[in-house]
Structure 1
Amino acid sequence: MVALFKDRSPAAVVWLFILSFIVHSHFIVDVPVVPAGRSDGLLSVFLSNYIAPLNPVIVIFIYHAFVIIQALRINYLFNDHRMYSKNNFLAAMVYILLTGIFKEWGNLTPALIENILVIWLFAKTIRLYNNPNPKTLLFNIGLLIGIGIILYHPSALLILVAFFALTVVRPFVITEWVVLLMGVVFPYYFLASYLYLTDRLSTILLYIPNWGLNIPRTTISPAFFVTVGLILIILILGMVYSQQETRRLLIQVRKNWVVLTVMLLVMLPIPFINKGVGIDSLLLWIVPASPYMAKAFLGPKKNTLPNLMFWSLLVLALVKNWQVVP
């Protein structure tokens, strides 16, 4: 089955659509939930007011559209920047499979929509290397992060990702760091100005992340540990294959993988340091995880192990989404 996604062909795109509908086949009887009453950013307000009242069929269509578009965007981004030894659709395949691994990831949440900005941020970050006009690009990166935080507060850790990426990709220049910080603050400047003019400046705290130790509510069962274990095994295997290929890569491509590694590590504690968020917030993490896990499917010369991992992820997603096991 994995062989269908190892080539960059139009047929693989069709299979991605089919895969998304299979992974989330439970939508036939269980419509994706649109969380309401949250205070984690403007996206929650938008979803509660404008998406939740829609017909369930439209909600299902919107969910699939976001998942497939994001999967394809990640895939084209990594292929176009020669991050793999050969063009393929494995990163998109893994992204779609991961959205079905946890029940909470199969809902239409702010984290799912925010992933568009996370992918966009990485696309801009990898353009920093040898960029002739880095300050404009850095300001746009900061602006994207600032807007993202207002829309979904747990994405605030992207600030660390951006500064780490700047450290890795470019030599230290204090003005570039200041420009990046100005971009992050800029959306809050306009927001504070608007709230002041409308005599609501005291509500500014609603748009600032609420940090603190947090234990996400999720069902802890043997299936949960199997899921986490499988993800970690595939991720570690992907990192091993990535490390073996590092010496053959261009310097720019190596730095891009380093930036992705930083994003992978920095975004992992998101659900544990943002008060009130659930395991669905960890959906942001699958953006950097998917390309690495795709390496585990691309690395082996024979398809036996990749096919075993594929069917394990697919069966696990179906079993959990159809609530055969909690």
Structure 2
Amino acid sequence: MINIFRSFNPLNVIWLVVVLFLSRLGYLFHVPDKLEFVFVEPFARLLVPVAYEYAFSPVLNVLIAGVLVFIQALLLNYLINFYNLLGKPTFLPALMYVTLSGLFAPFLMLSAPLICNFLVIWMLFKLFNLYKGDDAKSTSYDLGMIVALGSLIYFPFIYLFLAIWIALVLFKPFNWREWLAGVLGYGTIFFFLAVFYYLNDRLGKFSNIFLPLGTKFPDHISINVKSYLLLIPVILILVLCFFKLQQNFFKSYVQIRKSFQLLFFIFLIAAFSFYVNSAFHLNHFILCIVPAAVFFAYYFLYASKKWFYESLYLLLLISLICFQFNNF
């Protein structure tokens, strides 16, 4: 399977659909009677004055989520090949994204974090362009607006604002105007939201939007045991990827090295921003699969022992399919 996707062949799109179907087939047999889809945060609910939470049947909900994942996988694959992050054209980023997006049941349904992955990919296009781009101020302003838009959909997305400043540190010499431009971009969206609150006589509650940022970081997280079992091959592949990256790190171009550093920081930011939610939801971590898919693709592209990397990927794929067919 890995060898098929190592090459950049348009026919791989067909195989990608097959993997997408297999990684969701088990869940369709155990899909709940109702699946709620919350598109925006409660503080932005007035912007969408229609009842949409149960607009889709459970099966249609999962199918639409699968279509969105497929589109995101192709966009991510185009992004990685466009900036040549892996050194050669390949379909592995798309394969890894589709596989990781089927890791847990909450990943398989429509959710705000899933929608926000479009914004993460959009941000990456602009962030990687900072290295050679001339006008970083306008890019930074646009990125601030993207983060603000993501915050309306899913509030923990606000922490991805840090990725803008990290990218400026990595890619550009310090210029306070570029740093400020991101803040102004973010403030532009929330300024119009404040106007909307004012027009609806709710301006006094506007400051409550940012209260979750003061939430105490939790001491522990309650996750189902089977989730830990599924994470074993994921963690193993990540560790192998970082070893492979370390071996080739100084052989790569400066832009490639800095791009992978940025992806690592985005992974950490997405992972640790879950605490902002009042209730823990596993679907938050779907934000992590964009950078994780790139790391996975890097390892499988440069791994040398075919029997090992093919077996490792099959272990991951078979594990997530088995856990979907069984409720344990």
Taking structure 1 as the reference length, what is the TM-score of the superposition?
Answer: 0.91
Work out which of the residue numbers 167, 176, 179 in structure 1 matches 2:178.
176
Q: Which moved more, 1:39-48 or 1:114-123?
A: 39-48
Task: Indicate yes or no: 2:250 matched with 1:244.
Answer: no
Q: Which residue of 2 aligns with 1:88?
A: 90
Q: 1:31 to 1:17 in 2, by over 3 A?
A: same
Q: Which residue of 2 aligns with 1:310?
A: 313
Alignment-mate amino acid for residue 312 of structure 1? L
Work out which of the residue numbers 141, 156, 162 in structure 2 matches 1:139.
141
Q: CA deviation digits over 1:29-55, x for unaligned, max 9?
A: 234733459956658996993262224
CA distance in 2, matches of 1:72, 1:48: 31
Q: Which moved more, 1:266-275 or 1:170-179?
A: 266-275
Q: Which residue of 2 aligns with 1:281?
A: 284
CA distance in 2, matches of 1:88, 1:150: 34
Q: Which residue of 2 aligns with 1:198?
A: 200
Q: Which residue of 2 aligns with 1:3?
A: 3
Secondary structure of the equivalent of 1:10? Answer: coil
Task: Indicate yes or no: 2:317 matched with 1:294.
Answer: no
Q: CA deviation digits over 1:244-281, x for unaligned, max 9?
A: 22223222222111111111222221223432241111
Q: Which residue of 1 aligns with 2:236?
A: 233
Q: Is the 8 A contact 1:271 1:277 kept in 2?
A: yes
Q: Is the 8 A contact 1:125 1:165 kept in 2?
A: yes
Taking structure 2 as the reference length, what is the TM-score of the superposition?
Answer: 0.90
Q: 1:247 to 1:47 in 2, by over 3 A?
A: farther
CA distance in 1, matches of 2:197, 2:169: 35
Q: State the identity %.
A: 26
Q: CA deviation at 1:141?
A: 0.7
Q: Is the 8 A contact 2:27 2:105 kept in 1?
A: no
Q: Is the 8 A contact 1:8 1:88 kept in 2?
A: yes
Q: Which moved more, 1:293-302 or 1:121-130?
A: 293-302
CA distance in 2, matches of 1:196, 1:68: 40
Secondary structure of the equivalent of 2:288? Answer: helix
Alignment-mate amino acid for residue 276 of structure 1? A
Task: Indicate yes or no: 2:247 matched with 1:262.
Answer: no
Q: CA deviation at 1:205?
A: 4.6
Q: 1:48 to 1:113 in 2, by over 3 A?
A: farther
Task: Indicate yes or no: 2:120 matched with 1:104.
Answer: no
Structure 2 unaligned regions, length at least 5: none
Q: Which runs of 4+ in 1 moved over 4 A?
A: 35-48, 214-219
CA distance in 2, matches of 1:123, 1:41: 29
CA distance in 1, matches of 2:292, 2:84: 18
CA distance in 1, matches of 2:49, 2:307: 42
Q: CA deviation at 1:164?
A: 1.0
Alignment-mate amino acid for residue 303 of structure 1? K
Alignment-mate amino acid for residue 197 of structure 1? L
Q: CA deviation at 1:292?
A: 0.5
Q: Which residue of 2 aligns with 1:220?
A: 224
Q: Is the 8 A contact 1:94 1:293 kept in 2?
A: yes
Q: CA deviation at 1:125?
A: 0.5
Secondary structure of the equivalent of 1:268? Answer: helix
Q: Is the 8 A contact 1:216 1:272 kept in 2?
A: no
CA distance in 2, matches of 1:263, 1:72: 20
CA distance in 1, matches of 2:199, 2:284: 33
Secondary structure of the equivalent of 1:94? Answer: helix
Structure 1 unaligned regions, length at least 5: none
Task: Indicate yes or no: 2:64 matched with 1:78.
Answer: no
Q: Is the 8 A contact 1:5 1:89 kept in 2?
A: yes
Q: Which residue of 2 aligns with 1:22?
A: 22
Report the number of matched residues.
324
